[in-house]
Structure 1
Amino acid sequence: MNRKERPKRFNIERIIEVECLRLSSEGAGVGYHDGKATFVAGLLPGEIGEVQIFEEKKSWQRGRLISVQDATVSSQRVNPPCTVYGVCGGCQLQHLSYPETLVWKKRWVADNLTRIGKIAMDNVLMYSTIGMEDPWRYRNKGRFHRGEDHRLGYHQEKSNTIVRFKDCLLISEPMNQWLKEVEDILLKEAPEIKTLTLRENTQGEGMLVLEPVNDGENIRELLGKMNSLLIGSNEKDKRLGISSVWGINDAGKPELLIGKGDFRQEILGLEYKVSPLAFLQVNPIQTQKLYSTVLQWAERSPAKVVWDLYSGIGTITLALAAKAQKVWGIEENPYAVEDARVNALHNRIENVEFMAGKVEDTFQKIDEHPDLVVLDPPRAGAHRRVLEGLIKLQPKRIIYVSCDPGTLARDLGILQSGGYQVREVQPVDMFPWTGHVEAIILMTNSGFKGK
């Protein structure tokens, strides 16, 4: 590399002033300095911040907020109640009033659809974000990691540093207590355990998942000593309410160590078994609202055959069964598929069938043409072969549930090029105080007949 080709060196760790103009979809304030986009966590629109630059690229840079010149400029600024906010990184918006976070989440969805998906929003019904009456202690799952001091905490955002806390305001008070007691008792005698996951259903029962566990007998012996504490087998002592403890070995296989194997969650009147490695929406209150919207949109045009792609444990599949003659669910996770089949039997639903495999490889095996297709893919979005397959099949309606506005917009753009039109958009605040937003999209076939 000659001297002319050497990359430019930037002067990082310098101090500048930045006026915030808007919020990025990550929740950071966005301003401009010398024509360069500058991202600053904690800065709100209208505010001017003293900012220390710590990362600089050719067209953008990131800064650390040192101070706000006048914190009263933004009427939406509030004091974050979390004691580790700004250190943990799990929440990005606790300094912004909750109603205003809902406004921005709607804007982020619309901006992505317009900018990335090239969706013309003039003829689209774009609804306000569905929020929560009480946007705290909503998570039914937490994943925690052991630090060098053998204490548990979250991984700091974009880091392996462990952030400890006394009370995480996103999980319930019982879950905070479970974490403390398990940490105090179990981790001292089982140093091989590096990570644990806690789940809680709406009935107050808990599931504890330990990993790695390659000597189940040793851990089971320790748990046996704690049986009355963990499982509540003693009727006078049910402090923890954890009904099952699982171990995950190095091969990723789950093993029931102690307690009952079934962990169940009720959603819209149906009861679902959830395996330790199966996906379940983390916010049960908002899940009910999200699935209710999907069902309302599905009802508008009675469908004989429905496909539920990326179906998980069958939550949407089984709910849709009452609206159709037949519902097909496809899911890659084998544990989730097993749960889905058990859930269908448990709820006495017979007009559903689940197929295990990657959606892009499996949907072609279904010989019944869909009238309605529901997609709820992971954050990376749907596989392109799935989208191209739907364009060829031309189902009358598509309902797309997404947790990432960027990949959602990309996928909708592809479907739009194949003759579909976005009709309605409903953002849902599944993750209050974070930069994440869920969205439900209704698309209809415009009559396009491709080659």
Structure 2
Amino acid sequence: MNNNLNHDRLGETSEIECLRLITDGSGIGYQNGIATFVQGLLPGETGEIEVYEAKKKWQRAQLRKITKRSPNRLEPPCSAFEQCGGCQLQHTTYEETLLWKQRWVEDALTRIGKLNVEVKPTIGMEQPWRYRNKVRLHRKPDGQLGYFKEKSKELVDFEDCHLLSERMNHWIRLTEEFLAGSYPEIHTLTFRENTQNEGLLLLEGTPTKVLSAEENQEFFKALSEQGLRSVWGTDDEGSLVLIWGDEEFSQTILDLSFEVSPLSFLQVNSQQTNVLYKLVLEGAALTGEEIVWDLYSGIGTLALALATKAKKVTGIEENPYAVENAIQNAINNHAVGHVEFLKGKVEQRMMKIEEQPDVVVVDPPRAGMEPEVVQRLLELKPQRIIYVSCDPGTLARDLSALTHGDAGYKVKSVQPVDMFPWTTHVETITRINRA
């Protein structure tokens, strides 16, 4: 028996005032001293709620009716907003979303990292719609494509995702029509779009010997006329196979050209990526004489941008497809001799490099840096560390380890960037210098 459960409160209805937003986009208020989380309620609003999950010190409730409305409330433009859950903040103004993202970073650094540092206002977008250059969709048994509903495997379809370009939405509709009643093996589809409005499509679960270019020329021609350059699948071993079109697919960042594999990581917001990378270069303050490491280097986007201003850059990346792209990208951008890429886990490969880095740039996954990476950085003592983070909580944890006690580092600046408008996600660039 779980003594933390309080079944006697389940189904209770009451009115509550929302005081602030938490990092999943829920509003929080207090009912008889118990923290109450309500999805869809905005700060300053009151609403009638019904409790559906109750623990000793907190509870979750469903919003039944808004009794006092915030002047910041908007009607979400997306018809699937309440069902999908991918965008948690479409019901408030864009300016408010930027303020809350700044506050969430501040709260994480204070509460988790025990750091008293200034967090600059979040850098947003002038047009915060149609920004995603990649989408991963799942397929219903009837052939319709959609997103997984938040925290479930239930599929939600949509007519027009406002985070995707109209062009990409059209590719989705064309593909949905083509797959209707056919190729049940295909369960997941990934679309990418570059800054030249060209696209690629990856079909997962595809027996490539069945889905052939020869038998589907009409479909591929229709995609080609709409700007799609290639269709990829996977073989029986799960390896990538080009089904139709051009093998090369490139993206432009800071006037550099990058080949992108269907399975490689790339920032999903092309416009804000340029903003992000300019901030990284500014924080690195390179003079042309520095040895730079780029940890979790992906397809080499940041490493090659750094290589234009550094003596040498070493990138470390685990994804073999990304490393292959990175090596080719160094050749394409005439950076051979200034940059090298090592394949493997960061915590293993960085231990074997003998040279002393002056500047280290880290852009880890949401889980943050492994403890061995943090410890190795403290041993190497580079003059500057630029930390690009997609999770304020793990950022705060790692910054605490790098700056507390006799670690020897001090946080110089913290700049949130809105890479994912209308969602609760925020990217943060933190500059750390030797104290």
Q: TM-score band, normalised by the shorter chain?
A: over 0.9
Match of 1:269 in 2: 255
Aligned residue among 16, 19, 24 for 1:18: 16
Q: Check if 1:41 corresponds to 2:39.
A: yes
Aligned residue among 314, 317, 324 for 2:300: 314
Match of 1:449 in 2: none
1: distance between equivalents of 2:82 and 2:36? 18
Match of 1:246 in 2: 232
Match of 2:143 in 1: 150
Preserved contact between residue 216 and residue 247 of structure 1 (Cα < 8 Å)? no
2: distance between equivalents of 1:384 and 1:6? 35
Note the C-alpha offset of 1:100: 1.2
Match of 2:211 in 1: 218
Count residues in correspondence: 431
Match of 1:395 in 2: 382
2: distance between equivalents of 1:321 and 1:388? 26
2: distance between equivalents of 1:381 and 1:346? 31
Preserved contact between residue 213 and residue 220 of structure 2 (Cα < 8 Å)? no
Aligned residue among 23, 29, 32 for 1:31: 29
Q: Check if 1:115 corresponds to 2:111.
A: yes
Match of 1:63 in 2: 61
Note the C-alpha offset of 1:190: 1.2
Change (3 A) 1:444 1:7: closer
2: distance between equivalents of 1:227 and 1:118? 55
Note the C-alpha offset of 1:217: 4.1
Aligned residue among 165, 169, 174 for 2:162: 169
Note the C-alpha offset of 1:50: 0.9
2: distance between equivalents of 1:131 and 1:269? 22
Match of 1:203 in 2: 196
Aligned residue among 315, 331, 338 for 2:324: 338
Q: Check if 1:362 corresponds to 2:360.
A: no
Preserved contact between residue 422 and residue 444 of structure 1 (Cα < 8 Å)? yes
Match of 2:245 in 1: 259
What letter matches 2:339 in structure 1? V
Note the C-alpha offset of 1:389: 0.4
2: distance between equivalents of 1:393 and 1:117? 22
What letter matches 1:358 in structure 2? K
Match of 1:98 in 2: 94
2: distance between equivalents of 1:38 and 1:303? 54
Preserved contact between residue 23 and residue 44 of structure 1 (Cα < 8 Å)? yes
Match of 1:444 in 2: 433
Q: CA-to-partner distance for each residue in 1:202-243, whole Å, 9 max, x for gaps?
A: 10111000010134343444433423212x3xxxxx1x2110
- Equivalent pairs: percent with the same residue? 54
Q: CA-to-partner distance for each residue in 1:353-390, whole Å, 9 max, x for gaps?
A: 00000000010111210000000000110111000000
Preserved contact between residue 6 and residue 55 of structure 2 (Cα < 8 Å)? no
Q: CA-to-partner distance for each residue in 1:168-195, whole Å, 9 max, x for gaps?
A: 1000001111100111013432121111
Preserved contact between residue 389 and residue 429 of structure 2 (Cα < 8 Å)? yes
Note the C-alpha offset of 1:302: 5.7
Preserved contact between residue 328 and residue 354 of structure 1 (Cα < 8 Å)? yes
**Aligned ranges for residues 424-439 of structure 1 at < 5 Å?**
424-439=413-428
Change (3 A) 1:250 1:34: farther
Preserved contact between residue 13 and residue 50 of structure 2 (Cα < 8 Å)? yes
Q: Check if 1:294 corresponds to 2:275.
A: no
Preserved contact between residue 20 and residue 43 of structure 2 (Cα < 8 Å)? yes
Any idea what SS the aligned residue of 2:99 has? helix
Preserved contact between residue 397 and residue 442 of structure 1 (Cα < 8 Å)? yes
CA RMSD, Structure 1 to Structure 2 (Å): 1.5
Preserved contact between residue 94 and residue 422 of structure 2 (Cα < 8 Å)? yes
Change (3 A) 1:211 1:337: same
Change (3 A) 1:108 1:394: same
Any idea what SS the aligned residue of 2:262 has? coil
Preserved contact between residue 20 and residue 28 of structure 2 (Cα < 8 Å)? yes
1: distance between equivalents of 2:206 and 2:395? 37
Of 146-155 and 339-348, the range deviating more from structure 2: 146-155
Match of 1:235 in 2: none
2: distance between equivalents of 1:250 and 1:110? 47
TM-score under structure 2 length normalisation: 0.96
Note the C-alpha offset of 1:289: 0.2
Change (3 A) 1:373 1:7: closer
Preserved contact between residue 28 and residue 35 of structure 2 (Cα < 8 Å)? yes
Q: CA-to-partner distance for each residue in 1:401-437, whole Å, 9 max, x for gaps?
A: 0000001101111111222111101100000000000
